[in-house]
């Protein structure tokens, strides 16, 4: 076990948005013991941050003396609970999509709809990662975290995490206090549920699949994502840049009557979800370029760093988009990634 330290790290190298300045030091830890040692050796006033795949954060510009902590990937293990349920226990540093691939290969259902999402395991409960009708909270069993205030490891149940849409306790009181080290997902040996998304049905039909296996569902999701979301290796983005809007159902219905291209989904008697992508698209901003930032041509929910974007430039474009959407539809969009300030 070892802590690998690197100094003067450019944040562009650890962020899929390829933005940010330079940090004084990065520590790569391999184990919980490494993490505990690292905190024990750190002055109390040392600023620190844990980063996973860097696929949902926007770093600030300039130089910072903050310590960036990252986890090296480690082994995944299983714990069979009963005939139907197996817990898949993954270290924070594991690459999320390799965990999904592993579950699918071993015939375990529950996370196949979360295929091809960039990032690491430790981030999945923080923002309650979700896609195609499944959220991390649906399959979450428990997690282990290091409490920096007591220097002890603690366990969190699903209730403890207080999950919401792209939300959890780790974005609020738990922030800067708990470092997630391991997550346990409760998976099933039952037949998988096929996500009720038109794109999934279309893909399965195109492959003449009538009874979809786990890997058929995984392939369908990989296919759909590749058409809607840029590959972070080629195009600099953080996936969805805005959260979908939850508004009174009556307002959503009025908007839909006026703007039929809006994606409106009733949630319950009184609330509806309005797709942020469809709001930006209907406002005519899809595919538009504003200096170093553009609205992705295949999905208006995604902003692209065309190269060398600064936080100021991003901020201006984000404010402009929020303003245009607000003016046209009366809905205030909120950014989805974490806009970090050191
Ligand atoms: N839409 C448009 N124009 C656009 C983009 C989308 O009209 O430019 C419409 C679509 O046609 C569709 C609706 O908006 O009717 C919703 O689109 P989609 O199903 O692709 O999902 P989304 O709401 O845009 C959310 C998540 C994604 C996740 C997908 C799939 C958020 C902020 N985003 O996007 O998550 O992959 O659902 O379930 O909730 C991410 O968080 O980074 C992310 C990619």
pLDDT in tens, 96-117: 999 999 999 999 999 999 999 9
Nearest CA owner, ligand 1 atom 32: 243
> Which CATH code, of 3.40.50.720, 3.10.129.10, 3.20.20.100, 3.30.465.10, is assigned to 77-188?
3.30.465.10
Cα–Cα separations (whole angstroms), residue 172 to 111, 126, 177, 251, 337:
25, 10, 10, 30, 15
pLDDT-based confidence at residue 1 (cuts at 50, 70, 90) = low
Q: CA 49 → CA 24, 264, 301, distances in Å?
A: 12, 37, 27
Among 199, 218, 227, smallest CA distance to 302 is for: 227
Helices (H), the chain: 32-41, 96-105, 123-126, 136-139, 158-161, 198-206, 214-228, 249-258, 276-282, 311-329
Tell me the percentage of the chain whose pLDDT exceeds 90: 97
Mutate to test the pocket of ligand 1, among 228, 301, 333, 337 (most ligand atoms within 8 A of CB): 301
21 sits in which H/E element: none
Q: Does the annotation mark 272 as catalytic?
A: no
CATH number of the 3-71 domain:
3.30.43.10
User: Is any ligand 1 atom within 6 A of the Cβ of residue 181?
Assistant: no
* 245-273 average pLDDT score: 97
173-205 pLDDT, tens digit each? 999 999 999 999 999 999 999 999 989 999 999
For residues 281 and 261, the answer to whether their CB atoms sit within 8 Å is yes
| pLDDT given for residue 137 in this prediction | 98
Would you say the CB of residue 128 lies under 6 angstroms from ligand 1? no
Radius of gyration over every alpha carbon of the chain, rounded to an integer in angstroms = 21
| SS3 call for 48 | strand
* pLDDT(287) > 80: yes
What sign for the dihedral angle of Cα 267, 278, 125, 86? positive
What pLDDT, on a 0 to 100 scale, did the predictor assign at position 198?
Answer: 85
Check if 136 has its Cβ closer than 6 Å to any atom of ligand 1: no
Q: What pLDDT is recorded for position 222?
A: 97
Ligand 1 center–CA 275 separation, angstroms: 7
pTM: 0.95
Q: Whose CA is nearest to atom 7 of ligand 1?
A: 278
Ligand 1 centroid to residue 276 C-alpha, Å: 8
Q: Does the beta carbon of 277 sit less than 6 angstroms from any atom of ligand 1? A: yes
Residue 11 has pLDDT above 70, yes or no: yes
List, by residue range, all CATH 3.30.43.10 domains of the chain. 3-71
Q: What is the mean pLDDT of the chain?
A: 96
Q: Which CATH architecture has domain 245-335?
A: Alpha-Beta Complex (3.90)
Please measure the distance between the N-terminal and C-terminal CA atoms of the chain and give it in whole angstroms: 29
Catalytic site residue 218?
no
Ligand 1 centroid to Cα of residue 197, in Å, is 11
pLDDT for res 119: 95
CATH 3.90.78.10 maps onto the chain at 245-335
Write down the pLDDT at residue 87. Answer: 98
> What span, in angstroms and rounded, lies between the C-alpha atoms of 2 and 34?
7
Query: Quick check: 259 and 330 in contact, CB under 8 A?
Result: no
For the stretch 44-95, pLDDT in tens is 899 999 999 999 999 999 999 999 999 998 899 999 999 999 999 999 999 9
């Amino acid at each position: 076990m070892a802590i690998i330290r690197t100094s003067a790290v450019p944040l562009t190298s650890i962020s899929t948005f390829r933005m940010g300045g330079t940090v004084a030091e990065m520590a790569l830890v391999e184990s919980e013991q490494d993490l505990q040692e690292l905190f024990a050796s750190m002055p109390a006033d040392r600023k620190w941050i844990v980063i996973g795949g860097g696929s949902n954060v926007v770093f600030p510009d300039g130089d910072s003396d903050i310590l960036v902590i990252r986890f090296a990937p480690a082994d995944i293990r299983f714990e069979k609970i009963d005939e139907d349920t197996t817990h898949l226990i993954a270290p924070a540093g594991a690459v999320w999509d390799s965990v999904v691939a592993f579950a699918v290969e071993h015939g375990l259902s529950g996370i196949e709809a979360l295929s091809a999402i960039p990032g690491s395991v430790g981030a999945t409960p923080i923002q309650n990662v979700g896609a195609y009708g499944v959220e991390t909270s649906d399959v979450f069993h428990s997690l282990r975290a290091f409490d920096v205030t007591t220097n002890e490891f603690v366990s969190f149940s699903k209730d403890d995490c207080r999950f919401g849409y792209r939300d959890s306790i780790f974005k609020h009181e738990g922030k800067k206090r708990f470092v997630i080290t391991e997550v346990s997902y409760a998976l099933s040996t039952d037949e998988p549920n096929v996500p009720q998304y038109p794109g999934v049905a279309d893909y399965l039909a195109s492959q003449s699949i009538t009874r979809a296996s786990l890997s058929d569902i995984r392939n369908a999701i990989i296919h759909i994502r590749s058409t809607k979301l840029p590959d972070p290796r080629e195009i600099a983005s953080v996936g969805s840049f805005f959260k979908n809007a939850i508004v009174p159902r009556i307002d959503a219905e009025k908007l839909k009557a006026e703007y039929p291209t809006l994606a409106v989904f009733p949630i319950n008697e009184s609330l509806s979800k309005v797709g942020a992508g469809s709001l930006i698209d209907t406002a005519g901003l899809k595919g538009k370029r504003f200096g170093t930032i553009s609205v992705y041509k295949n999905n208006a929910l995604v902003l692209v760093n065309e190269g060398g974007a600064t936080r100021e430039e991003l901020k201006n474009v984000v404010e402009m988009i929020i303003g245009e959407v607000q003016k046209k539809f009366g809905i205030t969009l909120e950014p989805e990634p974490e806009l970090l300030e050191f």
